[in-house]
Amino acid sequence: MHKRHVVCSRGYSYEDCQATADWLLAQAAVRPQVAIVCGSGMGGLADTLKDQVAFNYKDIPNFPLSTVPGHAGRLVFGTLKGRPCVCMQGRFHLYEGYPVQKITKPMRIFALLGVETVILTNAAGGLNQDFKVGDIMIIKDHLNIAGFAGNHPLVGPNDDRFGVRFPCMSDAYDRDLQQLALDVGQDLGYGDFLRDGVYCVVGGPSFETIAECRMLHKLGADAVGMSTVHETIVARHCGMRVFALSLITNKAVMEYDSEEKANHEEVLETSRVRASQLEKFVSNLVSRIKPSKLSNS
């Protein structure tokens, strides 16, 4: 007999998210307007927050745990150039074995904390042959291949208090914030390594084969990674604006005679090399987002 497939909302319901948000609001005085998610090796961003109040994920009720090197597992509240922010020093990935609803739950908690803008960062492999290791790619769109097949964070009963059943994704990445980021990048002198492009999420944890890289590139992806897209979808579903960037930490291997092999150590090393520039980029971006309605300055 076939078992009926039921997506259980226990642990991810509105009430569950509200309970965690209420716990955080009771512990931290900061009321964040911007939430920042640190990609692999980019946790130093969180350390730049002033007047920090930080929680280990293990101490936050109903919060997942980070299991990946380069993802410390701390939620840091504080201010960045005077703006109240909350920063995830470590994110969750599908390959850690978490359901997609669990890895995206922090987005719903952020919305309930009053966050209006989410900044997502990630490490990614460059598929676009013009990209170099160390480039920063402003994400203008994404490919969610697993989502096409049903592994999507909004599968299951829809709670209208979060958002609509069928959210639009043609405006997933806020265009004004993309322009603002380009301006910030130019002002900082980052023009030579600032790009924009399409990010494709894969499940991981294995890196892609050569055939897979070629396929993803043909499909229109400029960079490939294992995160961000699910968070974007859930953040947009609950009405927050999203800006996302990829640090191109390695070149995706596209040729059979290449000796290169993708590895997490190279990913962390590239993140380390660009860390201070990324921190400057994000803090300047945050400082130029207007605090009230958060439209561009």
Ligand X SMILES: O=P(O)(O)O[C@@H]1C[C@H](O)[C@@H](CO)O1
- Of 41 and 163, the one with the shorter C-beta distance to ligand X is 41
Residue 205 preceded by cis peptide, ω within 30? yes
Alpha-carbon distance of 86 to 80, in angstroms, equals: 9
CA 40 to chain centre: 10
- Of the candidates 17, 28, 32, 39, which one interacts with ligand X according to CB under 6 A? 39
Annotation-wise, does 55 bind a ligand?
A: no
The number of beta carbons lying within 10 Å of the beta carbon of residue 209 is 10
Annotation-wise, does 71 bind a ligand?
A: yes
Annotation-wise, does 170 bind a ligand?
A: no
Number of amino acids touching ligand HPA (CB under 6 A): 13
- Of the candidates 267, 282, 285, 286, which one interacts with ligand X according to CB under 6 A? 267
Q: Does 122 bind ligand X (CB under 6 A)?
A: yes
Any idea which residues carry the catalytic annotation?
40, 71, 93, 95-96, 123, 226-227, 250, 264
- Of the candidates 35, 111, 123, 248, which one interacts with ligand X according to CB under 6 A? 123
Binding to ligand HPA in span 188-217, by CB under 6 A: 207-208
Annotation-wise, does 250 bind a ligand?
A: yes
Give CA separation, 107 vs 42, 52, 233, in Å. 19, 20, 9
**Under a CB-based contact definition with an 8 Å cutoff, are residues 139 and 182 in contact?**
no
Q: The tokens 């509105």 sit on which residue?
A: 14
Please name the residues in contact with 184: beta carbons below 8 A apart, sequence gap of 6 or more. 281, 284, 285, 288
Q: Site residues (CB under 6 A) for ligand HPA?
A: 123-125, 207-208, 224-226, 249-250, 252, 262, 267
Residues flagged as binding site for a purine D-ribonucleoside: 208, 250
